[in-house]
């Protein structure tokens, strides 16, 4: 069995666990024993997912390539999906918010399923990626993206709750959703900041310049500025509720464009 085969198993396991979690959530909420087993199942699948990433790293050494599995679109999608599930588990544990896992698992499944359409072969690193900064930069950026994903999920639920009282009564309390939106952004923003700093160090090592206004660099900065505006509005202006929820959604759209959209633009990050 290869890491790709393991990822295929993980993909459909996420789908199955999402269905089980949804049934448990609708049937009896957090008091259900099925809900507890569903949570343990997600933890187990996440562990297998992490193991598959480490196994691919091992496979690369077996092939004589030897690099962290973070160097192309396939590997980054697999890692991104894993960080999202980790973020969902952290939020669920911190806030006892099973609804975050119910809403977030389909996102992880879709990301993993999309890898079926991408070349999964392990290839040697191009010279620009042959740096110890690679792991630090990519890991911190994607952990930041995962935090923003959790914030986005809670923000969408908050905005849905505003549509009507009937919808709101089936969703968690607005105060809880608002707190998750804020806390997740704080963590995501901190990690993205570290990611941008390590990326600048990597750029200086690879191309001799800390900043080149490459499309991905530029949109990373735009994303950082949107979330900086979120934190400024929250802490300095006292914004909360629907206004910060909207900012969270806007920020996440910037994250998606930074990750996917700029790949269609020429630049130093075109290897993704």
Give the whole-angstrom CA distance, residue 103 versus residue 21.
10
Is the pLDDT reported for residue 145 higher than 90? yes
pLDDT digits (tens, 9 = 90+) for 57-67: 999 999 888 88
Contact indicator for 248, 158 with CB cutoff of 8 Å: no
**b/e 47-81 (16+ beta carbons within 10 angstroms → b):** eebbebbebbbeebeeeeeebbbbbbbbbbbbbbb
The predicted pLDDT at position 29 comes to 55
What is the value of pTM for the model shown?
Answer: 0.93
Element (H, E) at 198: helix 174-207
Comparing 69 with 33, the larger pLDDT belongs to: 69
pLDDT band, very low/low/confident/very high, at 253 (cuts 50, 70, 90):
very high
Amino acid 31: pLDDT: 57
The least confident of 122-126, 198-202, 256-260 is 122-126
Place of tokens 């310049």: 209
* Domain boundary assignment for the chain: 1-112, 126-272
Mean pLDDT of all residues in the chain?
90
Question: Average of pLDDT values for 123-137?
Answer: 81
Asked if 271 and 70 touch (Cβ cutoff 8 Å), the reply is no
Query: Residue 178 pLDDT more than 90?
Result: yes
Tokens of 191: 């990690």
| pLDDT at residue 265, rounded to an integer | 61
The pLDDT of residue 132 is 80
Determine the pLDDT at residue 234: 96
Token digits of residue 262: 């700029």
Predicted local distance difference test score (pLDDT) of residue 266: 58
- Structure-block tokens of residue 120: 């999964």
Q: pLDDT higher for 15 or 272?
A: 15
- Give the integer Cα–Cα distance in Å for 80 and 146: 7
| pLDDT tens readout for residues 74-109 | 999 999 999 999 999 999 999 988 999 999 999 999
């Amino acid at each position: 069995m290869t890491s790709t085969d393991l990822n295929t198993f993980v993909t459909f396991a996420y789908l199955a666990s999402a269905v089980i979690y949804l049934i448990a959530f609708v049937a009896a909420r957090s008091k259900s024993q099925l809900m507890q087993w569903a949570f343990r199942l997600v933890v187990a699948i996440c562990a297998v997912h992490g193991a598959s990433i480490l196994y691919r790293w091992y496979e690369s050494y077996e092939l004589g390539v030897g690099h962290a599995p973070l160097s192309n679109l396939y590997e980054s999608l697999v890692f991104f999906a894993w960080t999202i599930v980790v973020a969902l588990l952290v939020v669920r544990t911190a806030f006892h918010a099973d609804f975050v896992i119910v809403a977030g698992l389909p996102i992880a499944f879709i990301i993993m399923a999309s890898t079926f359409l991408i070349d999964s072969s392990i290839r040697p690193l191009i010279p620009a990626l042959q740096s110890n900064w690679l792991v630090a930069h990519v890991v911190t950026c994607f952990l930041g993206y995962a935090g923003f994903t959790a914030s986005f999920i809670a923000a969408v639920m908050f905005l849905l709750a505003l549509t009507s009282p009937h919808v709101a009564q089936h969703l968690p309390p607005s105060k809880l959703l608002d707190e998750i939106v804020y806390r997740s952004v704080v963590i995501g923003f901190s990690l993205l900041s570290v990611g941008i700093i390590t990326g600048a160090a990597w750029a200086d090592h690879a191309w001799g310049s800390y900043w080149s206004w490459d499309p991905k660099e530029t949109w990373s900065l735009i994303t950082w500025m949107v979330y900086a505006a979120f934190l400024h509005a929250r802490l300095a202006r006292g914004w909360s509720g629907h206004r910060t929820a909207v900012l969270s959604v806007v920020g996440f759209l910037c994250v998606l464009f930074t990750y996917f959209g700029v790949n269609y633009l020429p630049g130093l990050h075109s290897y993704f």
